[in-house]
Amino acid sequence: MRLSIPSSAVVAALVGFGGTLALIVAAARAAGADPAQVASWVTGLCLAMAFTSAWLSWRLRMPIVTAWSTPGAALIAASAAPVGMEAATGAFILVAVLILLTAAVRPLGDAVARIPAGVAAAMLAGVLLRFVLAVFETAQTSPMLALPLVALFLVARLVSPAGGMLFVVAAGIALAFGLGLVGPLPDGMLRLSTVTLTTPRFEPAVLVGLGLPLYLVTMASQNLPGFAVLRACGYQPPVRPILAVTGLASLLTAPLGAHTSNLAAITAAICTGPDTHPDPAKRWPVGLFYGFVYLVFAAFGASLVALFAAMPGDLVRVVAGLALLGPLMGALGAAMAQEKTRFAAVLTLVVTASGVTAFGVGSAFWGLAAGLAALGLERAATLLRRG
């Protein structure tokens, strides 16, 4: 046992939790959650991270750490209008069932894998773009709050690409207090978390417009990169058992309001490399320490949610947008990488970013549909020319 094992776990958990908590709060607000449901959402996610990371790492003897779906949270937060927590919970259950089916039914996993990577990445980029643009829209209305945080982010990412957002979050909270923008804080800030059960409601428009895109971005932008990180570090993770565990965790925590659990990608790189331990076979205990840290977050996450709830909305928008700059960069790179799918990817991006809604179904679905349709027409035209 080396000190680098627990320290890597703590850093990874802090980066994953602190860097994107504002986005979870924004997603919960967009879904129409009340303060108790927001706290329950975060608590459910933290419990899922704790138990799946500890169990998978111990069972498989690999440094497997899980995370909530950051792109999924961005997708929820980008909803044009609140769908209601009951309908959102129904969509979360659908996603969990689809992940379990992916683990159990090989053809379904193969069908997801056949979606062109450029089109899937473009759908994600279209969702993320709206959040990043909101940073600079906020800079016009609240320059004293937004511009210092943007400047700090540009410097902090040079010092620590993984942990730079922690500096931005801390500075943003301090700046909001200094500018007198913080709302009243609840009595007894340090209190144990509680959970709230939400009865799901299965609305077809929400299942198609939110549930299906949430499943696709989670698979394409979280699980597939998560497996790639493990393989790059010399591991051969069993795909179907890992998907089964994360899918089951998502199913069990969905009634708490929690959206999807999946493999970590960015924070996994902190736990799986030689800095954690020179011997790859001895890195797996990092998942146990990572799980313990998330248990602590689950116990006291309500206090952090209450703190963020008291923060001005402009601060939440700036922090969430800056946190998504890196994922946006990666999504745009993947979307434009292949020339043969570039037009379809651009079409997917602009339709998704437009926020268009039709028949109650959101723009992420229509962006994906438009991109796949364009790609299908191009391939059909190519076959006709050859014939």
Per-residue model confidence as pLDDT tens digits over 39-74: 899 999 999 999 999 999 999 999 999 999 888 888
Domain ranges within the chain, ordered by starting residue: 4-187+199-386
Radius of gyration of the chain (CA): 20
Give the angle 357-361-362 at the CA atoms, nearest 5°.
55
Q: Which of 14-23, 210-219, 281-290, 293-302 has the lowest mean pLDDT?
A: 14-23
Confidence of residue 314 (pLDDT cuts 50, 70, 90): confident
Q: How many Cβ atoms sit within 10 Å of the Cβ of residue 55? A: 17
d(CA 367, CA 81): 18
Section 301-329 average pLDDT: 79
Place of tokens 């037009």: 343
Confidence of residue 360 (pLDDT cuts 50, 70, 90): low
Q: Which residue has the higher pLDDT, 113 or 256?
A: 256
Predicted local distance difference test score (pLDDT) of residue 330:
78
User: Residue 19 above 90 pLDDT?
Assistant: no
CA dist 37 → 9, 43, 306 (Å): 28, 10, 12
Q: How many Cβ atoms sit within 10 Å of the Cβ of residue 224? A: 18
Confidence of residue 2 (pLDDT cuts 50, 70, 90): confident
Q: What is the mean pLDDT of the chain?
A: 85
Which phi and psi (to 5°) does residue 263 adopt? Answer: -65, 145
Section 189-197 average pLDDT: 80
Predicted local distance difference test score (pLDDT) of residue 114:
74
Predicted local distance difference test score (pLDDT) of residue 111:
72
Confidence of residue 187 (pLDDT cuts 50, 70, 90): low
Q: How many Cβ atoms sit within 10 Å of the Cβ of residue 13? A: 28
Cβ(86)–Cβ(201) under 8 Å? yes
d(CA 289, CA 6): 6
**Percent of the chain beyond pLDDT 70?**
94
Residues linked to residue 66 through DSSP beta bridges, in sequence order: 263
User: Residue 80 above 60 pLDDT?
Assistant: no
Cβ(355)–Cβ(130) under 8 Å? yes
Cβ(89)–Cβ(291) under 8 Å? no
Q: Which residue has the higher pLDDT, 373 or 360?
A: 373
Confidence of residue 387 (pLDDT cuts 50, 70, 90): low
DSSP string, 310-351: HS-HHHHHHHHHHHTHHHHHHHHHHHTS-GGGHHHHHHHHHH
* CB neighbour class for 141 (10 Å; exposed up to 12, middle 13-18, buried from 19): exposed
- 331-338 CB contacts, 8 Å cutoff, 24+ apart: 331/121, 331/122, 331/124, 331/125, 331/128, 331/221, 332/121, 332/125, 333/121, 334/117, 334/118, 334/121, 335/118, 335/119, 335/121, 335/122, 335/125, 336/118, 337/117, 337/118, 338/116, 338/117, 338/118
Q: Which residue has the higher pLDDT, 374 or 183?
A: 374
Q: pTM above 0.85?
A: no
Confidence of residue 183 (pLDDT cuts 50, 70, 90): confident
DSSP string, 150-167: HHHHHHHHHH-TTTHHHH
Predicted local distance difference test score (pLDDT) of residue 181:
84
- HSE-CB of 266 using CA atoms within 13 angstroms: 22
Q: Which residue has the higher pLDDT, 19 or 296?
A: 296
* pLDDT single digits (tens) 112-159: 667 787 887 888 788 778 878 988 999 998 999 999 999 999 998 888
Predicted local distance difference test score (pLDDT) of residue 81:
65
Confidence of residue 270 (pLDDT cuts 50, 70, 90): confident
Q: For helices 342-354 and 363-386, what crossing angle results, to 10°?
A: 160
Confidence of residue 88 (pLDDT cuts 50, 70, 90): very high
Confidence of residue 284 (pLDDT cuts 50, 70, 90): very high
Q: How many Cβ atoms sit within 10 Å of the Cβ of residue 261? A: 34
* pLDDT single digits (tens) 96-108: 999 999 988 877 7
Cβ(253)–Cβ(261) under 8 Å? yes
Predicted local distance difference test score (pLDDT) of residue 189:
61
User: Residue 341 above 80 pLDDT?
Assistant: yes
At 261, is the secondary structure helix, strand, or coil? strand
Structure tokens at 284: 């797996």
Buried b (16+ CB within 10 A) or exposed e, 182-210: eeeeeeeeeeebebbebebeebebbbbbb
Predicted local distance difference test score (pLDDT) of residue 352:
86
Predicted local distance difference test score (pLDDT) of residue 322:
84
Residues linked to residue 361 through DSSP beta bridges, in sequence order: 358
Q: Which residue has the higher pLDDT, 183 or 315?
A: 315
